[in-house]
């Protein structure tokens, strides 16, 4: 597939089409005046019909956007692109014709409309071909491409290499393949599929294509789990059942049917990919990927953090860089369900910490708590020992209410790692806790989870809302009543921003 364009470039591409469409209208008017067909036509007639041209141009740009014409600067070949532009333009022509009939604009020149259609098709097609050539030249000059690793070496892998990779050499850079044995038909053998983690540590890979003629469910899950840790896209050529739970996107490349797979579904809300999950699935995923996620972090997202990420791109990058962004806020899981993800449920930070602590004795998981005050941590330790007997606490630390010096921070990380925890629970509040976890990614040798006020809830400093309020997404209101001075501005501004964004969707 072609690489997606940045949003700004896509907008400029759409604006260029709009300008071209208006230019096509004036050229069509010139032809209408010069060519000896139909009744007399003058420049005043052209200006009279200009508002129709503007409406037509807007409609056409929306049609182009709706059919993903702005997802890439590349086109799919002269014949295919010409057919696509011609068909989409017919749709726009039909919409304009319907408007003319509805508003009884019978004086509009049908010949002008025909010339307009022809010029629009020609100019837009020429522009797409020129942009495609310029983009290709830029990619060649800047060495921009997708680094592709193939897993498999049988007939399916050979076909993908020859029919897709070699024919798209400017977009794809083949880094090698993994399989049980080397194959003479494929260059650059990198080892077995079990060596994937080692290969990813030493080789840049943007996309993994699984092209094995046979595949086991456990191996596929392992490959996708490792790739998910490194934020690498995985595509399979489906000669077997799809064993991975994530929703898929199917597409065709040179006759080969491919499917994008991932470990879990996500729903993009205000620029943050919120995981579609429930508590059981979350616990299962954490258990399966705990070793893979050591040094990584999980964000527990609510309306406040999501709106903040929408306004602050740096904080958005932190949220997107997490192993998971869980739907702590009820409105987030509700929005996911409205988008068709019917299995989406709320997973709050306090509930997640509680469920993990419950099963920790049998899993032999070790816990470190970072945040809050010394008094709260002391109470928290007592409560955990009472409620979750056998849960092992290997350390607690209440950082000062100031930034740590580099030396203090290094000593803190050293203490955490020396205690060998499996989980580091971070209770600094948003956005401070997410920024801390991102800054210590791969430095702390444990899975970090930011849980906000969970320490205070578990210690009894703050009382949770009744269950009926939690079910109706009113826990924020209950917290507001407990601490109105601190929370009123936050909830008022972020909730309004979220509702405005949701209404616009």
Kindly report the CATH number assigned to the domain that includes residue 165: 3.40.50.720
Same domain, 328 and 432: yes
Same domain, 98 and 241: no
Q: How confident is the model at residue 140 (pLDDT cuts 50, 70, 90)?
A: low
- First and final C-alpha spacing in the chain: 27
Q: How confident is the model at residue 6 (pLDDT cuts 50, 70, 90)?
A: low
Query: Which residues, listed in sequence order, are joined to residue 79 by a DSSP beta bridge?
Result: none
Q: If we measure between CA atoms, which residue out of 127, 131, 149 comes closest to residue 139? A: 131
Whole-angstrom Cα Rg for the chain: 28
Window from 334-348, 350-364, 465-479 with minimum mean pLDDT: 465-479
Window from 138-142, 209-213, 495-499 with minimum mean pLDDT: 138-142
User: Within a domain: residue 489?
Assistant: no
List Cβ neighbours of 134 (8 Å cut-off, separation of 6 or more).
Answer: 73
Same domain, 196 and 120: no
CB 170 within 8 A of CB 198: no
Over residues 103-131, mean pLDDT: 76
CB 86 within 8 A of CB 121: yes
Same domain, 221 and 272: no
Identify each DSSP E strand in 360-444 by its residue range.
366-371, 392-397, 423-427
Over residues 475-497, mean pLDDT: 73
Tokens of 106: 């019978």
For the stretch 352-368, pLDDT in tens is 999 999 999 999 999 99
What DSSP assignment string belongs to 436-459?
HHHHTTTTSSSEEEE-TTHHHHHH
The count of structural domains within the chain is 3
Same domain, 437 and 326: yes
User: Within a domain: residue 78?
Assistant: yes
Tell me how far apart the alpha carbons of residues 18 and 261 are, in angstroms, rounded to a whole number. 36
- Final residue of a structural domain among 261, 285, 320: 261
User: Within a domain: residue 132?
Assistant: yes
User: Within a domain: residue 475?
Assistant: no
Same domain, 128 and 197: no
Torsion angles phi and psi, residue 63, rounded to 5: -65, -40
The pLDDT of residue 242 is: 42
- How crowded is the C-beta side of 31, counted as CA atoms within 13 Å? 16
**β-strands 423-427, 447-450: how paired?**
parallel
The better pLDDT of the pair 170, 18 is held by 18
CB 146 within 8 A of CB 206: yes
Most confident of 22-31, 139-148, 313-322, 471-480: 313-322
User: Within a domain: residue 211?
Assistant: yes
- Final residue of a structural domain among 207, 233, 261: 261
pLDDT at 124 over 90: no
The pLDDT of residue 249 is: 54
Same domain, 298 and 410: yes
For the stretch 205-249, pLDDT in tens is 988 998 887 766 667 778 887 887 787 888 888 664 444 444 455
DSSP label at residue 41:
-
User: Within a domain: residue 329?
Assistant: yes
For the stretch 35-62, pLDDT in tens is 767 666 666 767 777 777 788 788 888 8
The C-alpha angle with vertex 36 and arms to 34 and 39, in degrees rounded to 5, equals: 100
Tell me how far apart the alpha carbons of residues 454 and 357 are, in angstroms, rounded to a whole number. 12
Over residues 296-308, mean pLDDT: 93
pLDDT at 310 over 80: yes
The C-alpha angle with vertex 484 and arms to 483 and 487, in degrees rounded to 5, equals: 85
Same domain, 255 and 402: no
pLDDT at 31 over 60: yes
The pLDDT of residue 360 is: 96
Share of the chain above pLDDT 90, in %: 34
Tokens of 88: 């989409």
Same domain, 75 and 134: yes
Domain CATH number, residue 413: 3.40.50
User: Within a domain: residue 400?
Assistant: yes
The better pLDDT of the pair 222, 254 is held by 222
Same domain, 100 and 193: no
pLDDT at 109 over 70: no
List Cβ neighbours of 428 (8 Å cut-off, separation of 6 or more).
Answer: 370, 371, 399, 436, 450
CB neighbour burial string for 24-63, b if at least 16 within 10 angstroms, e if fewer = bbebbbebbeeeeeeeebeeebbeebeebbeebbebbbeb
- Final residue of a structural domain among 226, 261, 296: 261
The pLDDT of residue 476 is: 67
């Amino acid at each position: 597939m072609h690489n997606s364009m940045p949003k700004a470039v896509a907008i400029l591409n759409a604006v260029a089409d709009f300008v071209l469409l208006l230019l096509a209208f004036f050229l069509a008017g010139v032809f209408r005046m010069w060519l000896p067909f139909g009744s007399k036509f003058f420049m005043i007639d052209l200006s009279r019909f200009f508002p129709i041209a503007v409406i037509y141009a807007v409609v056409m740009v929306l049609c182009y956007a709706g059919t993903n014409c702005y997802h890439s600067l590349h086109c799919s070949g002269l014949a295919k692109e010409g057919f696509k532009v011609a068909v989409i333009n017919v749709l726009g022509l039909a919409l304009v014709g319907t408007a003319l009939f509805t508003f009884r604009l019978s004086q509009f020149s049908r010949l002008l409309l025909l010339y307009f259609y022809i010029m629009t098709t020609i100019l837009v097609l020429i522009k797409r071909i020129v942009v495609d050539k310029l983009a290709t030249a830029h990619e060649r000059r800047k060495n921009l491409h997708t680094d592709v690793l193939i897993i498999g070496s049988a007939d399916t892998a050979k076909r993908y290499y020859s029919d897709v990779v070699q024919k798209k050499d400017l977009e794809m850079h083949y880094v090698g393949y993994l399989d049980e044995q080397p194959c003479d038909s494929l260059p650059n053998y990198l080892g077995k599929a079990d060596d994937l983690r080692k290969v990813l540590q030493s080789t840049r890979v943007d996309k993994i294509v699984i092209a094995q003629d046979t595949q086991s469910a456990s191996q596929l899950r392992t490959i996708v789990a490792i790739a998910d840790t490194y934020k690498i896209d995985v595509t399979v050529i489906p000669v077997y059942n799809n064993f991975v739970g994530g929703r898929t996107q199917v597409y065709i490349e040179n006759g080969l049917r491919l499917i994008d797979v991932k470990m879990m579904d996500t729903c993009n809300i205000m620029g943050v990919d919120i995981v579609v999950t429930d508590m059981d699935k979350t616990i299962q995923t954490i258990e399966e990927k705990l070793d893979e996620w050591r040094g990584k972090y999980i964000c527990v997202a609510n309306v406040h953090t999501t709106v903040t990420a929408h306004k602050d791109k740096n904080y958005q990058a932190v949220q997107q860089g997490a192993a998971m962004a869980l739907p702590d806020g009820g409105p987030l899981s509700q929005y996911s369900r409205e988008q068709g993800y019917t299995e989406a449920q709320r997973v709050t930070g306090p509930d997640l910490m509680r469920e993990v602590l419950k099963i920790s004795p049998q899993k032999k998981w070790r816990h470190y708590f970072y945040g809050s005050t010394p008094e709260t941590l002391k109470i928290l330790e007592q409560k955990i020992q009472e409620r979750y007997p056998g849960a092992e606490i290997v350390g607690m630390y209440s950082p000062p209410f100031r930034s740590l010096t580099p030396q203090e921070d290094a000593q803190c990380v050293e203490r955490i790692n020396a205690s060998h925890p499996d989980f580091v629970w971070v209770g600094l509040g948003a956005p401070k806790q997410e920024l801390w976890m991102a800054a210590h990614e791969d430095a702390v040798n444990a899975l970090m989870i930011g849980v906000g006020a969970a320490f205070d809830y578990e210690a009894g400093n703050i009382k949770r809302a009744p269950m009926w309020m939690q079910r109706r997404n009113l826990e924020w209101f209950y917290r507001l009543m407990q601490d109105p001075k601190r929370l009123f501005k936050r909830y008022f501004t972020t909730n309004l921003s979220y509702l405005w964004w949701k209404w616009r969707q």
